[in-house]
Amino acid sequence: MTDRRNPPRAGAWQDDFWWSNDGLRLHFRDYAGRADRPPILCLHGLTRNARDFEGVAARLSGDWRVIVPEMRGRGESAYARDPMTYVPLTYLQDIDALLGQLQLDRVILFGTSMGGILTMLLAATERERVAGALLNDVGPELSPAGLGRIRSYVGRQLWHPTWMHAARSLAEAHGDTYPTYGIADWLVMAKRLYRLNSSGRILLDYDMKIAEPFRVPGNEAGPDLWPALDALRGKPVTLIRGDRSDILSAEVAERMAERLPDAELVTVPNTGHAPTLEEPGAAAAIDRLLARLA
């Protein structure tokens, strides 16, 4: 058990790796925290990586252990040999292998976008392992307009000569999503989304082949995830929605809250898909959730 008189330093992490069932070396960040509480497992979105949760982990670590895996094909995790393994059921197997390696019987799940889909699936398949959950701007039904927007850019590699170029490109493409952002905010986002390669180019930090499963006919609708959401009933749950989201509609978010009577629904103002969870309203909601789980 962690000595509470000398808690781990907040924001510090170590890099570690685990192996998938099909032989891929996958990366995760492990932020130290108290051993007498269930760790928080943060699951990122489709084109994101472990850096997506830097702010959240820096704020919570020390009091909470925060584990941030990078799905196959992202960040420092290996790229898949078969691009058709870039699907939720394979990611779920990868997560199960990580939990097995770390011998974690109980975790709190924070899932953003695709990570929220994985959260619901994990609750459906291993309910007793889930202590509580946060679903960030995602639900059992996704808005077609938002899915179309994502399909329009995922898998298209972009590169920039400087970080400022990358930041300005993000501002131009996603200004409607984060209308209050200044250039400093866009620089932070650029350094989370892009990487510097050996040639000095700043590139998106994921395998462009993650887009291939989207192109398979019949994959548009996906499975019915309402039963998976129902698996979270009776557990502490927070539902976060950006008020400008084109992925999670207000109607679906309200239906989710009705299906989970103990859940708290929080709307983040002036934000689209997806909130960073560093916004004041989102941070306060996280603190309320964790107070129920401490």
pLDDT in tens, 234-281: 999 999 999 999 999 999 999 999 999 999 999 999 999 999 999 999
Q: Is residue 107 part of a domain?
A: yes
Domains of the chain: total:
1
**88 part of a folded domain:** yes
Residue 84 in tokens: 């058709």
Considering the domain boundaries, does residue 49 fall inside one? yes
pTM (predicted TM-score):
0.94
The verdict on residue 162 lying in a domain is: no
Alpha-carbon distance of 83 to 74, in angstroms, equals: 13
pLDDT of residue 218: 57
- Could you tell me if residue 92 is inside a domain? yes
The 10s digit of each residue's pLDDT in 18-63 is 999 999 999 999 999 999 999 999 999 999 999 999 999 999 999 9
pLDDT over 70 percentage in the chain: 94
Handedness of CA 40, 95, 27, 160 (dihedral sign): negative
CATH number for the domain spanning 62: value is 3.40.50.1820
Residue 192 lies inside a defined structural domain of this protein: no
Q: What domain range is 243 assigned to?
A: 13-155+220-293
Alpha-carbon Rg for the chain in angstroms: 18
Model confidence band, residue 2 (pLDDT cutoffs 50, 70, 90): very low
172 burial class (0-12, 13-18, 19+ CB within 10 angstroms)? exposed
User: 279 in a domain, yes or no?
Assistant: yes
CA distances from 111 to 132, 135, 168 (A): 11, 5, 27
Q: What is the pLDDT of residues 62-98, one digit of tens each?
A: 999 999 999 999 999 999 999 999 999 999 999 999 9
In a domain, 7, yes or no: no
